Structure 1
């Protein structure tokens, strides 16, 4: 078909739209050859621009999405993951002069940790890296044999990834002629490496590499190390570190783990679907008792009550169904959304455990829910505390304590019992969490080995190198709730809980013109954007996140699993309810533990020996997320003995295990140092 604008398409059609394999030559001489779906590129395909840029990889809705390789006209090449037309996820960037950068990208900007190898330096084999990329959860690089793309041509383009497996399937899409700037965001070799590397030309490039850390495209930290030392340690930064399941979870490997996820989805779909039509009523004492549980058997071939399935036979037990039904309603969680999030076709993702419990964690596909396996002792504590927990979260809508949505048990055919709890993900946000901390207030053993730190590692108390300064009223609201929550946990003799803190750092690179502008732009926002743009030119972080009066119609107030109740008030805007405005992100509703603005002051460490590490900034604007987690450990006889034994070796105030009243006071005192009061 020849269009009036001169573009020519030859290929498959369906209902008068391009659908299937096809080739389109645009009027501006661009060329796409690959898979189409309902008029847009979707699947795998090759796109060549008139200016010499070329991309081969996956597409979705007319944009590059998934695994793909882009070679720019200047010779630079990127092999990694894309989203919505931008580099997003793990990848390898090879410069025309031979330099390599392994790292992560977010919306087209370097974001997170990576390693830069100067030209001529020894770098690890890229085969293992690219093999790991194929298993990244952000996409897969798979082609079908029906593709019209030449396999040898793809291999020649991806010179940086000789191990790239090509199975040939086409699922890419390109719509009408793309604009001239269509995803051609490849920085020149000179500009992309100018930050930091040009100052060390005199060093031996054969032995020196740079461990770098970026925030929204801005280089904030750089460490010089040896290529020999790093060559065996390189791994994609977005992939979780492989950990071995321990204790009673060791059998959950391979097939068993897969079956467990299927059983989990089947059981939750059955539970929620059965109780949702029942009229809601106030909970009674009997709803918390031992008889307040339902049991169902799920045979593989189905029964009068259960559907057939592809898993193994299992028994399902649902604890206190009416209580958790009311809790989900209390947290404004729609039953249909809950089921679709956990039981949808996209499945669950297993994530590594940040603690020593050996528990297995699953994350829903939309990041809204975390599912954690429980020990029998933890289940007993949860059921014992449930009546008081129900009253506490009902009385305090802003509570920081973990929100529980359901407790269940699966008994597999082999007799193994797996108990688990469904919780809200406190880091469910469109902003990237750059740092994660698990803070208890103790110091003994509360530090992470530097060799084990990855991009998404949850750090501990002694790893925290910042203190966070907040608006006066925001801080008051925070500690008022922390006091209430700690008093509640103390009354239940709970210890070993911690504050899970997530920090999103703001940097000038966030204002890169490749990002979309805010949906809502007031006059005050425009002034702020200009000021921040000037700060970007001066290479300093913008000072002062913008707080504006809360406007319900201007901000997305849809409740999520981490919702903390009411909108907070800020002293800086006359004690009114506030929203947070971020350039490139628009408005965010400020709630307790969610979207809270602060300023992070870097604490100088005079004893720091790593002189090769360069800290570029000392103060950052940040957005913090937090909640109190791990609230299922009682101060029982076992813990009392542990406290006595450890007190003989260490200072009793430095160990994690201590009696509830002392633990609560130490916890609050430590957080007051983390969030100090302005003088």
Structure 2
């Protein structure tokens, strides 16, 4: 039933019981309006082309209510959400999830103010419990993690590193009675060496310790045998947190963009935020030291050197505060003799990995800063090869060209700096962003090696870049193929071959060296990667032990239980580029490369009605050509709706799809986002389970035969040539096994087998 009022407002009753009263545009709500659903949900506010967009109020039958900004019928912007149990959240929203700056008062009177990400506490924030305890610091996935300060009601304070909600790493614990303990923790327990200053004794400057404190995800920063010379060991940059409380108060009456800028600007005030919570305690400790001295003349200077093992005290040594600890006894320095006994990589493993990461950051910052001001020009033949390099010595105390640092002395070499500078510009990477990503205060995270190479892998703080150690033969292959690689990348902007951004070498005194390459992370995406596959096209030994499979395991060829159907045009573009890349690798006599494939699964059944409304009748007429009729949808590319900021894995043009008339396309993920489709990035498909795999594996049961997936892929491990050793390996294995099933075969056959496997087994043509 339609009723048109004189004011231009429309009252419409739907057959399902919904009622709309308000302004319209055509037949869609547009402007101010009130919509009441049949279940009792009521929305009153702004509409745009049939969707809740602007400001409004929505009340659910449960009693929950939201008042604030909407976009595309999502809670998106700034708003206040009240739950039936009395919890109140006020702050930013993105796609129906709390995101950005916000404060929440819980029904039990707990209170949090700070940063949120996708509905959970993530970043800097302050949490106050109803019993009086309070925490200021970093959060990750809703749990306390990183640098932070906890203050308990008994006036005890811990200022240090956290992991998964417990103390983990280096920290300072201040007792309510004035005592002070400085040391390391492991998953909530004291572990390693530390120093205890009893109540009334002299203690070090707390401000100096607080400002120099840093957290390392790799474990405790101060290990057994490394307790001496703390000043140099803890002089590390900290992750920016900022004074969250102050920034929220000062920005409460500003626009959303102004509030965000205000918070970002205050992130460098970390020390003020952390020192503020402990200022009273610091003053009280100083007061105790000066005025509450014990009767004995020497007791005020007593200090206890202790060592714990999983919370159990196993050693204690009493010394006077004025005594300097024996550095040779406590400090485990890197000497030339130690270097001779171990390789560079062995030395830098474990907790000492921090030094290697610091060296990398220092070297990359120096190189990029030196090469960036050089006027851009075309590369020359002299820019390639081992002799095209920048070499610099980084002494610990600093020099005319290098800053002082708390690592060990090292030599730095940067290979072909002009070539990689131009490559970074080809990949549309800003030099400042590149340095901030790798060399920022957040540091690098060490990853476990996904292969058998034993290499060390680091991931940048924003997940954009992977840094991998290289063997000397791999370095030589990369430098040898670099001129042709540079040319190939220039001709094929959609290439799937690994993006290389820099090659470096660190040398220690004594001659030991570690070589590194910086690459783009192919799985740098906001979407969760549910499965990872390393596909070569061979079958011998290409399966994973089921007992060793977890959420982060990279599976192999025989573990792949799906084949992927995608839009005809997308498939053609993909296979054409794979063929071009394989021909290039074949020309360089490269073998043993693989396709790294990441899958993001979507719900297999939903939103058919939404697709029909969005795609329109013209798209639906094509029937079998419309791939993704359920949880994914290809729509015409509109740059205004899509974030086109390039990442390290994104460079080429937006792809065209056959299903919507050979137009450039975006991928619409109902309830999530709208993404730009590029080769190897955000590529939609349907994953169909292989029938033969179902028969072989009776222990695994899946609810659906077809899944909607988003694919991310690239060609990796391109630094192995077909040398004499590989030829001998091929000859030996060919005696026992079918030569076409083993990984090591001649480059021409390897490329052809790789292409055929992907074309027929992984991305077969739709029937």
TM over 0.5: yes
Change (3 A) 1:510 1:366: farther
Q: Render the CA deviation track for 1:539-571: whole Å, top value 9, x for unaligned.
A: xx9726211111122211111100141110000
1:280 is aligned to 376
Q: Does 1:431 align with 2:527?
A: yes
Equivalent pair of 2:604/2:706 in contact (CA under 8 Å): no
- Rounded to whole Å, the distance in 2 between the matches of 1:662 and 1:420 is 30
Q: How does 1:75-90 map to 2 (within 5 A)?
A: none
Q: How does 1:457-476 map to 2 (within 5 A)?
A: 457-476=553-572
- Rounded to whole Å, the distance in 2 between the matches of 1:64 and 1:342 is 26
In the TM superposition, residue 615 of structure 1 has moved relative to its aligned partner by 1.1
- Rounded to whole Å, the distance in 2 between the matches of 1:366 and 1:618 is 35
1:617 is aligned to 704
In the TM superposition, residue 585 of structure 1 has moved relative to its aligned partner by 2.4
- Rounded to whole Å, the distance in 2 between the matches of 1:289 and 1:423 is 19
Q: Render the CA deviation track for 1:65-93: whole Å, top value 9, x for unaligned.
A: 2699x9xxxxxxxxxx9768x6999xxxx
1:363 is aligned to 459
Q: How does 1:115-154 map to 2 (within 5 A)?
A: 135=163
Change (3 A) 1:384 1:278: same
- Rounded to whole Å, the distance in 2 between the matches of 1:139 and 1:398 is 46
Q: How does 1:54-453 map to 2 (within 5 A)?
A: 60=115, 65=121, 135=163, 249-453=345-549
1:502 is aligned to 598
SS, match of residue 613 in structure 1: coil
Change (3 A) 1:282 1:573: same
1:667 is aligned to 754
Q: Does 1:583 align with 2:684?
A: no
**Equivalent in 553, 558, 566 of residue 645 of structure 2:** 558
2:550 is aligned to 454
SS, match of residue 634 in structure 1: coil
Change (3 A) 1:284 1:420: same
1:676 is aligned to 764
1:628 is aligned to 715
SS, match of residue 423 in structure 1: strand
Equivalent pair of 2:631/2:670 in contact (CA under 8 Å): no
Equivalent pair of 1:437/1:501 in contact (CA under 8 Å): yes
**Equivalent in 658, 666, 671 of residue 745 of structure 2:** 658
Q: Pick 1 or 2: higher relative contact order, CA cutoff 8 A, min separation 6.
A: 1
- Rounded to whole Å, the distance in 2 between the matches of 1:436 and 1:447 is 13
Equivalent pair of 1:318/1:407 in contact (CA under 8 Å): yes
1:643 is aligned to 730
- Rounded to whole Å, the distance in 2 between the matches of 1:264 and 1:601 is 44
**Equivalent in 543, 562, 565 of residue 630 of structure 2:** 543
Q: Render the CA deviation track for 1:505-542: whole Å, top value 9, x for unaligned.
A: 0027999xxxxxxxxx99944999xx9xxxxxxxxx97
Equivalent pair of 2:606/2:630 in contact (CA under 8 Å): no
SS, match of residue 419 in structure 1: strand
Equivalent pair of 2:358/2:407 in contact (CA under 8 Å): yes
1:76 is aligned to none
Change (3 A) 1:650 1:250: farther
SS, match of residue 347 in structure 2: coil
Change (3 A) 1:48 1:563: closer
1:538 is aligned to none
In the TM superposition, residue 609 of structure 1 has moved relative to its aligned partner by 6.6
Change (3 A) 1:137 1:409: farther
Change (3 A) 1:354 1:336: same
- Rounded to whole Å, the distance in 1 between the matches of 2:86 and 2:168 is 25
Q: Render the CA deviation track for 1:122-152: whole Å, top value 9, x for unaligned.
A: xxxxxxxxxxx9645999799997899xxxx
Q: Render the CA deviation track for 1:62-119: whole Å, top value 9, x for unaligned.
A: 9852699x9xxxxxxxxxx9768x6999xxxxxxxxxxxxxxxxxxxxxxxxxxxxxx
- Rounded to whole Å, the distance in 2 between the matches of 1:397 and 1:333 is 14
SS, match of residue 718 in structure 2: coil
- Rounded to whole Å, the distance in 2 between the matches of 1:613 and 1:166 is 43
SS, match of residue 580 in structure 1: strand
- Rounded to whole Å, the distance in 1 between the matches of 2:589 and 2:483 is 15
SS, match of residue 480 in structure 2: helix
SS, match of residue 676 in structure 1: coil
Change (3 A) 1:279 1:136: farther
- Rounded to whole Å, the distance in 1 between the matches of 2:763 and 2:144 is 33
- Rounded to whole Å, the distance in 1 between the matches of 2:746 and 2:462 is 39
1:604 is aligned to 691
- Rounded to whole Å, the distance in 2 between the matches of 1:248 and 1:313 is 13
- Rounded to whole Å, the distance in 2 between the matches of 1:270 and 1:580 is 40
- Rounded to whole Å, the distance in 2 between the matches of 1:262 and 1:510 is 48
- Rounded to whole Å, the distance in 1 between the matches of 2:111 and 2:172 is 13
Change (3 A) 1:58 1:443: farther
Change (3 A) 1:613 1:429: same
Give the structure-2-normalised TM-score: 0.57
- Rounded to whole Å, the distance in 2 between the matches of 1:137 and 1:343 is 27
SS, match of residue 715 in structure 2: strand
In the TM superposition, residue 617 of structure 1 has moved relative to its aligned partner by 1.0
2:337 is aligned to none
1:232 is aligned to none
Change (3 A) 1:447 1:47: same
Larger Rg: 2
- Rounded to whole Å, the distance in 1 between the matches of 2:404 and 2:389 is 23
Equivalent pair of 2:499/2:519 in contact (CA under 8 Å): yes
Change (3 A) 1:602 1:302: same
Equivalent pair of 1:546/1:581 in contact (CA under 8 Å): yes
Q: Render the CA deviation track for 1:591-620: whole Å, top value 9, x for unaligned.
A: 000000000001134675764533111101
Q: Render the CA deviation track for 1:482-516: whole Å, top value 9, x for unaligned.
A: 110000000010000000000100027999xxxxx
Q: Render the CA deviation track for 1:234-292: whole Å, top value 9, x for unaligned.
A: xxxxxxxxxxxx99733332354111100000000000000100001000000013321
Which runs of no fewer than 5 residues in structure 1 stay unpaired?
A: 1-25, 33-41, 71-80, 90-132, 149-162, 179-245, 512-520, 532-540
SS, match of residue 494 in structure 1: coil
Equivalent pair of 1:495/1:635 in contact (CA under 8 Å): yes
- Rounded to whole Å, the distance in 2 between the matches of 1:668 and 1:338 is 34
1:573 is aligned to 660
Change (3 A) 1:415 1:454: same
In the TM superposition, residue 652 of structure 1 has moved relative to its aligned partner by 0.5
Equivalent pair of 1:46/1:57 in contact (CA under 8 Å): yes
